[in-house]
Amino acid sequence: MGGGQWPVVLIITPLIGAALTPILARRRPQIAGYWALFVFSIVTLAAGVLMYRVSTQGPFSYYMGGWRPPLGIELRFDEFSASIGVICLIGWLSLMFSLAYAKHALPERRIPYYFALVLLCLGGMNGFAVTGDIFNLFVFLEILSLSGYALVAITGERIAELAAFKYLVMGAISSLSILLAVGFMYALTGTLNMTDLAMRLRDVEPFPVAVAVGALTLGFSVKAALLPLHIWLPDAHSIAPSPVSAILSGLVVKIGVLGMLRMYQILYKAQIFDLSALNTTLMWLGAISIVLGALFAMVQEDIKMMLAYSTISNIGYIFMGLGLASKYGIIGASVHIFNHALIKATLFLGAGALIHQTGYRNLEDLRGVGKAMPITSAAIAIGAISIVGIPPTAGFLCKWYIALGAIEAGRLFFAVTLLFGALFIFVYYIRMLNAFYFMPPAHPEILDVGEAPVTMLIPIVVLAMLCLLMGIFGRIPLSFIEPAVTNMLAPIGG
Amino acid sequence: MRALWTNIDYVASVILFLIGLYAIMVKGNLIKKLMGLNIMETAVFAFVMSAGIVTDGDAPIMGAGAKPPFANPLPQGLILTGIVVALSTSALALSLIIRIYRQYGTIESDDLWGVE
Amino acid sequence: MEVVDIRPLLAPVVSLMCGFLVFFSGERAWWRRFWSIAAAIVNLGVVYSMLPGVLDGVIYKFALIEFTPGIGLAFRVDALGMFFALVSSSLWLITTVYAIGYMESEHERARFFGFFALCVSTTIGIAFAENLLTLFLFYEMLTICTYPLVVHEETPEAMKAGRKYLVYTLVGGVFVLLGTAVTFQWAGTLTLSQTGILDMSAGRQGLTLLFVAFVIGFGVKAAIMPLHGWLPSAMVAPAPVSALLHAVAVVKAGAFGILRITFCVFGVELLQDLGIAIWLAAVASFTIVVASVIALTQNNFKRRLAYSTISQLSYIVLGAALLTPLAALGAIVHIANQAFQKITMFFVAGAIQRTTGRTNIDELAGIGYEMPYTMGAFTVAALGFIGIPLTAGFITKWYLSLGAMETGHWIFVVVLITSSVLNAAYWLPVIYMAFFKVSPGVRPHVKEAHWTLLVPTIVCAIYVILLGSLAEVPGMPLSLARTAVEFFFGS
Amino acid sequence: MRRALTLALLILASVPLLYAVSLLPPVGSEDNPTYTYVVPHYLEEGPEETGCENIVTAVILNYRGFDTGGEVTVIFTALMAVFGVLLIPRPAEKVRQPESAVPVSPVTLFIVRTLAPFIVVFSVYQIINGHSTPGGGFQGGTIIGALLIAASLVMGSERTQRLLPEGVRRWLQPAAVLMFAVVGVTGMLLFGEYLSYPIEGEYLFLRVPFLTLVEIGIGVGGAAIVASIFWAMEGSDG
Amino acid sequence: MSRAFDLVLYGLLIACALAVIRTKDLLAASIIFSTYSLILCLVWQLRGSPDVALTEAAVGAGVTTVLFLVAVARTSRRER
């Protein structure tokens, strides 16, 4: 197949890098950060090359150990795998942000483990995004989840461990329900390869498959924090170190959504039963998530807590888009996976910089920070405007597509919910901006704190720029996603 | 019903799965929750293994004198991985429990919610 | 004739850039003023350079990017857009000069002037939008950019007004977006370059709902009653903001949106078939009368102006809703007329406040002697609102009345006349108070406003007269409006 | 109340699960898709293609070696996680444990000491011979790890850790991940894909040594990780 | 391996699982959990999976139990 070994670089480098981190950083823990950044630069390069290949030559596969599926494990690079791009981008920027952050916020002994865990988490996500084998999917899911649980607890602050434990229990249940579903599918078909599975699922008993789909949906929606299953998220995402919050909120919850997309890919191809019940459920849960997530966020005082609830709201968008099952709906959901990752990373990193510089977390205390830290605050403002979906920022396109999808599917009600949900979201973001810019400071000394260090500023500014650019050049992610969605829906004539 | 009887292995793992889930949802003690989680894990492993059962299958080792039918090697490989994953989860969870106890002096979730 | 030209893009973008430069100039006053004026002049220059072409029937267009086939960011300069852009950018220059004087002692001036520039750039974007999506895009940006100006004072009252403003306008934005999405679904395009892209195939009921959604969406900014609540509260903003944004840019964006929806998305014929425009006309008439009545009861100068604005804006809506060429002409030309008249008044209010510190009408006794030029300008504008011939307001009333007669609904003519009477009722007392009522024992001495405040005021007042007396001279706004109307009504 | 509700919920959930289970292919039949689809290839060609008589080893190290690579990464992640969560700054209150947590009877001590060499030999046999007999790297490694744990319980962690000083431990912990990478990349350079082993040709002789190397890596890494997790949790390493 | 023996083992497993949940003494629960793993190990062995059985014995019955014991020793022994 003569494709070069970039897939290996993509998957293996972060794992090796993580394995070597504690050794290299034994004497001087601060080295760990630079090492991790270096390692991840290589990974990002690989991701870039692979994405370029996907975009020029179309999907391709890499066979681990040379064993063709169904014998061995296949890495599948298709349009949805292009999410490695966003994983690497945000991972890289978060790592860069971590350099200064970790020095300040973590006990020195934990720093090497922190960076090792971040690398493992990102590597796990890359693996999850590209693997074509459902059991391998589970393995990578565990790598990224385990490191995620630990990263939540790593500061050891306040309720960090409790939040991590809650996250761990919920996460483990979801992983198990996913593994159970894998078991069902395996028992029915005897294969673990996704493409193969889609073929072989065509002529089996539909009911067990339905149960498996239910278990998968349950598992992935816990990971994605869809509303009734979200209880772990606010604590975990607000207590984690800010760069980790960016990764968790921007990427790790999206892993659940990506899993759903993979499942849909298989199901649409297999056409084993009517999905409308599942779709309707997702749609409603999505709508409820949007509204309730926004309402919860409105009453928060802690800035990171607010952002965490806003993630729940935004996950609602994505699930609604998926559930609409119309072309534009799914396009909107997929684009929102990318854009929300960018936006939420901007916001969390920005919030992290504010907390790092001022030491305050509450909106009340942060008043007037817009004058003290103009660049960071401006980036947060862009992020906020973007997440509400005010044009011409990244968030707008998603809203537009999902609304279009709702109308396409003949469900105007959901379009209305979506758009008004966005307004709810705006209500709490405007509180934030008011506090930053239009209110006299509660603590006058806040005006004296300087702008964040440069390694923190660069990621924030780059992400904020991307929030704007992705709105203006919305075609770029779309050029990946549209063919993929068209392909995906082709069997049902969408 | 008959089908259930034939698939009694699956049924057993489903029951174990639910027992584990019950423990997680009802028990207040974090270690107990974790034990429930472990039971759930083994239940899922049993489930996957059941998919590969071959009546009177021998260990799939092709030494001299080995004769079919052999047991299905694939689920075994998967479960080997699964067991390690389960161990990892338990190790991390127990560490968290130890830390929680050090900080709050309790591992009963009823007491811990007050802490937040 | 359509020409691809970069200028439609250039107009908003260049001034946008200047806006950002204003931010970066921070507290360096000279640079801040330089960039503010430069932005306005460049903008005006670019817009004016297209005027001759547009008058000759040339249409400039520029497609920036496409999101998906058929949806993208594109600009197009037709007569109606040109008209709106011309009004906005001319007044921007004047207001900038005024604002520099007015804001001399204010805080956060970089923020103020920066967002001021952004607002006008987005207004130009609205004017030149080629499709509904672009229109919506700038419409929402305008909302956001205005917010910092409304809450500029940072007082609790200002914050409250800001919140109210955002809630109203963003809800409106949702309706516009919803309407846009539905339109795309039904029509398959969002272009504003035709006279109607929808047709009856979508069903009568659906189309009616769609029209209502659009009217609500744009009506919020156009302050149609009962969606007007934000406008009086937003008067806490500094006078130049009230002047430019709440007399010209923001509110006219709403009115402009309604014109676009009526003539470009639905089209005259479809609306006539649907028969819903008459209801819009009814609502507009209601607004005209009721807002005027409320204005009578207001003592605060700026609040009276605000209700007067609400009333005047509905002239435009009424003109659009009557669906006759002459009424439409009246509506379009009123964009300019009302703008110049109202901005004069706001300038006056601001100048009085800055110079004497008085904000209520009953405090204005004898002000005509203290500030004769300022109050002279005010008198001109007031006569314009009443509709005295040779002022701009007369032109509007004339064409609107003719249009109303065309439809045969005499009631609208009555409304217009009532409105004139009411206008007289609430402006003439002010003039009386200013010139004829001197507080006993006080000998007023002349204490005019600073020249940066005075010159723009007088320029505007002169324009009010020019617009009224030289309306038929080629090159004046009326000719541009005629071109637009001819296109919409296909004659 | 909560119990009753949970119970009701679970019983409700059990109905579809049990019904679904009853529709699955009958357990134990040789006609199941699980047994007729991929597995025959493994069973028939396995020894030939992979050089492993133990087909399970063939699956986990060769056909699905990537999974096992993931598996060792998972346990390494667990180690990092445990360290990250548990290790506190060094100078802080270092809880000095008594030499052994529980008073140990001489009998136990004797048993552990006597059995230790046999256990080690058994594990090493497992590790090295994993490709043809039951057991393999991870099982052997875990047993050694368990032995270390037992030794810590009996002799105290401090003394046991001297067997495996921190500098050495740090290198041994990632042994499995690194060994996988080394063998995988060698396979990639020589035979085409990551983790490929020769099926025929001049390098065929490398196949069994490679497998053994991986097994040793997994064994060593597993042992080091299991023991380190124990030490970290027990509090003697931190 | 006969069906009946299978059933007995499954019965034992479920009994052990229930016992783990019901036992208030966490130390005892850990030991019962270890027994549970050993029974499971027997089940795997009977199904021709010596590899899994070995792992389960070493990991499930061995290491996991030890870790549980450590955790119990470091926290509290009784469940409320």
In this predicted model, what pLDDT tens digit does every residue of E6-58 receive, in sequence order? 889 999 999 999 999 999 999 999 999 999 999 999 999 888 888 899 999 99
Q: Which residues contact C373 (CB under 8 A, 6 or more apart)?
A: C448, C454, C457, C458
Cα–Cα distance list, A455 to A97, C419, C462 (Å)? 6, 63, 57
Asked if C110 has any chain A CB less than 8 Å from its own CB, the reply is no
- Are C104 and C26 in contact by the 8 Å Cβ rule? The answer is no
Distance to chain A for D191, nearest Cα, Å = 8
pLDDT tens-digit readout, C344-370: 888 888 888 888 888 888 787 777 777
Q: Which domain holds residue A338?
A: 291-494
The yes-or-no verdict on residue A157 having pLDDT over 70 is: yes
Does D48 fall in a domain? no
CB contact under 8 A, D87 and A117: no
Q: Taking 70 as the threshold, does the pLDDT of residue D175 lie above it? A: yes
- The answer to whether residue B29 neighbours chain D at the CB level (below 8 Å) is no
How close A267 gets to chain B, by Cα (Å)? Answer: 21
| CATH architecture assignment, domain B2-55+70-115 | Orthogonal Bundle (1.10)
Residue D100 reports pLDDT greater than 60: no
Is there a contact between C177 and A419 if contact means CB atoms under 8 Å apart?
Answer: yes
Each residue's pLDDT tens digit, A165-188: 999 999 999 999 999 999 999 999
Are the Cβ atoms of A179 and B17 closer than 8 angstroms?
no
Chain B residue with Cα closest to D7: B22
Report CA dihedral (C144, C145, C149, C151) to the nearest 10 degrees: 20
Give me the residue from B31, B32, B71 closest to E47, CB to CB: B71
Q: Which of B4, B14, B37, B42 to mutate to test the interface with E (most CBs of E within 10 A)?
A: B42
pLDDT the model gives residue D104 = 67
- State whether A419 and C178 contact (CB < 8 Å): yes
Q: Residue D8 corresponds to which amino acid? A: A
Number of separate helices (H) and strands (E) present in chain E: 4, 0
**Measured between CB atoms, does A187 come within 8 Å of chain D?**
yes
Nearest-CB residue to D41 (from A71, A127, A211):
A71
Question: What tokens were used for C456?
Answer: 């723009």
Q: For B81, which residue in chain D has the nearest alpha carbon?
A: D71
Give percent above pLDDT 90 in chain D.
Answer: 29
Q: Report yes or no on A104 lying in a domain.
A: no
∠ CA C325-C327-C329, rounded to 5° = 70
Phi and psi at E3, nearest 5°, equal -60, -40
Note the pLDDT tens digit of each residue in C99-118: 888 887 777 778 888 888 88
**Cα–Cα distance for residue pair A194/A134, rounded to 1 Å:** 6
* pLDDT above 60: residue D147: yes
Name the pLDDT band for C69 (thresholds 50, 70, 90).
low
Contacts of A189 in chain D (CB under 8 A): 33, 37
User: How many separate helices (H) and strands (E) can be counted in chain B?
Assistant: 5, 0
Question: D54 in contact with E at a CB cutoff of 8 Å?
Answer: yes
Report the residue of D53, D71, D214 to disrupt the B interface, i.e. the one with the largest count of B CBs within 10 Å: D71
Distance CA A328, CA A330 (A): 5
- Specify the higher pLDDT residue, D145 or A227: D145
Cβ neighbour number for residue A46 with a 10 Å cutoff: 23
Report the pLDDT averaged over residues C155-161: 87
pLDDT of amino acid B116: 54
**CA nearest to D131 within chain E:** E51
Using left for φ > 0, alpha for ψ between -120 and 50, and beta otherwise, residue D195 falls in left
pLDDT band at A1 (very low <50, low <70, confident <90, very high): very low
Range picked from C67-81, C140-154, D63-77 for highest mean pLDDT:
D63-77
Q: pLDDT category, A432, cuts 50, 70, 90?
A: confident
Angle between helices B73-104 and D65-86 (to 10 degrees): 10
Identify whether C226 is preceded by a cis peptide bond (ω within 30 of 0): yes
Q: Which residues contact C227 (CB under 8 A, 6 or more apart)?
A: C168, C172, C216, C219, C220
Cβ count within 10 A of residue C297 = 10
Contact (CB<8Å) A186/B75: yes
pLDDT exceeds cutoff 50 at D91: no
Contact A392 C151 (CB under 8 A): no
Task: For residue range A45-100, list pLDDT tens digits in order.
Answer: 999 999 888 888 888 888 888 888 888 899 988 888 888 989 999 999 999 999 98
Overall number of domains in chain D: 1
Record: contact B85-A139, CB cut-off 8 A: yes
Residues 19..48 of E with a Cβ closer than 8 Å to B: which?
20-21, 26, 29-30, 33, 36-37, 40, 43-44, 47-48
Residue whose C-alpha is closest to residue B75's, from D216, A206, D64, D215: D64
Structural tokens at position B4: 């259930």
**D203–chain A Cβ distance below 8 A for any pair:** no
CB contacts, 8 Å: D185 with chain A:
8, 12
State the average pLDDT over residues C283-296: 90
Residue E3 has pLDDT above 80, yes or no: no
Inter-chain CB proximity B19 and E67 less than 8 Å: no
Alpha-carbon span D149 to B91, nearest angstrom: 14
Question: Which of these, C242, C1, C254, C214, lies nearest to C99 by C-alpha position?
Answer: C242
Interface of A with D in 27-86 (CB under 8 A): 62-67, 70-73
pLDDT (average), residues D121-143: 86
User: What pLDDT band is residue D93 in, cutting at 50, 70 and 90?
Assistant: very low
Q: State the angle between helix axes of C132-150 and C109-128 in degrees (0 to 180), rounded to the nearest 10.
A: 160
Q: What is the pLDDT of residue B69?
A: 83
Per-residue pLDDT at C441 exceeds 70: no
Q: What are the pLDDT digits (tens) for B30-47?
A: 999 999 999 999 999 999
- pLDDT of A2 > 70? The answer is no
pLDDT recorded at residue A494: 45
pLDDT at D237: 55
Q: With contact defined as beta carbons under 8 Å apart, do C134 and C125 qualify?
A: yes
For C242-302, the three-class secondary structure string (H helix, E strand, C coil) is HHHHHHHHHHHHHHHHHHHHHHHHHCHHHHHHHCCHHHHHHHHHHHHHHHHHHHHHCCEHH
pLDDT score at E12: 93
As a whole number, mean pLDDT of residues A441-458 equals: 86
Task: Please report how the helices C250-260 and C204-222 are oriented relative to each other, as an axis angle in degrees rounded to 10.
Answer: 160
Q: Evaluate whether residue D58 is within a structural domain.
A: no
Flag if D43 and B60 touch (Cβ within 8 Å): yes
Tell me the pLDDT of chain A averaged across its residues: 89
Contact status of D138 with chain A (Cβ, < 8 Å): no
Q: Do chains B and E touch (3 or more CB pairs under 8 A)?
A: yes
DSSP helix/strand/coil, C72: strand
A120 has a chain D CB within 8 A of its CB = yes
Q: What is the mean pLDDT of residues A367-385?
A: 89
Task: Check: CB of residue A184 under 8 Å from CB of residue D24.
Answer: yes
| Tally of domains within chain A | 1
Please report how many Cα atoms fall inside a 13 Å half-sphere around the Cα of residue D217, on the Cβ side: 24
Torsion sign (Cα): D97, D101, D107, D109: negative
- pLDDT > 90? residue A116: yes
Distances (CA, A) of A20 to A4, A115, C239, C353, D165: 25, 11, 65, 71, 18
Q: Is the pLDDT of residue C440 over 70?
A: no
Q: Find, in chain D, the residue whose alpha carbon is nearest to that of B4.
A: D22
Are D and E touching by the rule of 3+ CB pairs within 8 Å? yes
CA dist B29 and E77 (Å) reads: 11
> E79 CA to chain B: closest CA distance, Å?
6
> For residue D202, what pLDDT is reported?
81
pLDDT at A264 over 80: yes
Q: At what angle do helices C277-297 and C410-436 cross, to 10 degrees?
A: 20
Instruction: Say if D229 is an interface residue toward chain E (CB within 8 Å).
Output: yes
Amino acid at E13: L
Q: Tell me the average pLDDT across D108-122.
A: 87
Indicate the residue of A397, A438, A472 with minimum beta-carbon distance to C154.
A438
Mean pLDDT of B45-57: 88
User: What's the pLDDT at C36?
Assistant: 83
Q: Tell me if residue A93 falls in helix, strand or coil.
A: helix
Instruction: Report, as an integer, the average pLDDT of A405-428.
Output: 86
ipTM: 0.88
Per-residue confidence (pLDDT) for residue D89, from 0 to 100: 59
The tokens for C427 are: 């402006």
The CA radius of gyration of chain E, in Å to the nearest whole number, is: 14
Across the interface, whether the CB atoms of D67 and A73 are under 8 A apart is answered yes
Q: What is the pLDDT of residue D236?
A: 57
Say how far apart CA C19 and CA A132 lie, in whole Å: 50
Q: Inter-chain contact D56–E73, Cβ cutoff 8 Å?
A: no
Question: Does D70 fall in a domain?
Answer: yes
Q: Dihedral, CA atoms, C199, C200, C201, C204, nearest 10 degrees?
A: 130
